[in-house]
Structure formats: C-alpha cells, structure tokens
Amino acid sequence: MSRKLYRSRSDRKISGVLGGMADYFDMDATLLRLLFVLIFVFTGFFPLGILYILAIFIMPKEPFA
C-alpha cells in the first residue's frame, strides 16, 4: 500500500498543507504547526513562506472517501 501526500480536508487551519503533512508523517499536527511557526520566525519569510505557498498550489486536495 502506497501513501500519498495530500492537503487535508478535515485537519486544516489555513489550507490543509500542514495537516496533510502530519497525516503523511504520522505525527501530531499541532506539533508540526508549532515547529513550522518557530522555523518561520527564526529564518524569515522567504525559505518557509515561499515553500508553503508553493505547496498550496502543488499538493492535491485529499480525495473524498
């Protein structure tokens, strides 16, 4: 069985990118969001902000079950 990376439809705050990544890596979405915010603040907008915006457009939405 293969796993696919999707934007989450159920576990989303903005667009579901981090919720989908948390499902894919089998970790808590809140912890992933906290790590994202910490890295975002300490490195500035460009590295993570640009990747997040790209992920919104590149990652497909989770299919309906």
The full set of domain ranges for the chain reads 17-58
Residue with tokens 């500035």: 44
Length of the chain as a residue count: 65
Higher pLDDT, 2 or 50: 50
User: Given this model, what pLDDT does residue 40 score?
Assistant: 92
Name the DSSP class of 61.
Answer: B
User: Is pLDDT above 60 for 1?
Assistant: no
Question: pLDDT by residue (tens digit) across 19-51?
Answer: 999 999 999 999 999 999 999 999 888 889 999
Q: Which residue stretches of the chain are H helix? A: 17-25, 29-43, 45-58
Angstrom distance (rounded) from CA 25 to CA 47:
21
User: Given this model, what pLDDT does residue 23 score?
Assistant: 93
Which structure tokens are listed for 3?
């796993």
User: Given this model, what pLDDT does residue 2 score?
Assistant: 67
The overall longest dimension of the chain from CA atoms, in Å, is 38
